[in-house]
Amino acid sequence: MTKADIVEDIAQKTGLTKKEVGETVDLFLEQVSDLLSQGRHLEIRGFGTFKVKERKERMARNPRTGDAVPVPSRRVPIFKVSKMLKDKVAHHS
């Protein structure tokens, strides 16, 4: 499923134009990205939580040469699936 499929489905269900729905979907994704890049969290009941975790600096190795390479600390986006959604996915077969 892609964004286009989602937009199509929502336009059909709501009667809003695909343009309106498309803009809203794009802004939704953009806002979530913005929040995360500001280090903020977004909690959506019944769906899950988007958050940011800090990964510490560490030493890794170049697998080709075996040289030690420092990996700088960085932030990674995490999505923690809500229990409700996890249960729905696990029990549906």
Partner 1 sequence: MTKAELVELIAQRTGVSKKDTGIVVNLILENIGGALTRSDKVELRGFGSFKVKSRRPRQARNPRTGDAVAVPPKRVPYFKASNELKSRLNGGTGDE
Among 18, 52, 62, 65, binds partner 1 (CB under 8 A): 52
Question: According to the binding rule CB under 8 A, does residue 57 interact with partner 1?
Answer: no
Q: Count CB neighbours of 37 within 10 A.
A: 11
31 versus 69: smaller Cβ distance to partner 1: 31
**d(Cα 53, Cα 51) in Å, to the nearest integer?**
7
Among 58, 61, 75, 83, binds partner 1 (CB under 8 A): 75
Site for partner 1 in 1-40 (CB under 8 A): 1-3, 5-6, 9-10, 13-14, 16, 20-21, 23-25, 27-29, 31-33, 35-37, 40
What residues contact residue 31 under an 8 Å CB cut-off, 6+ apart?
A: none
- Closest among 49, 53, 46, 7 to 27, alpha carbons compared: 7
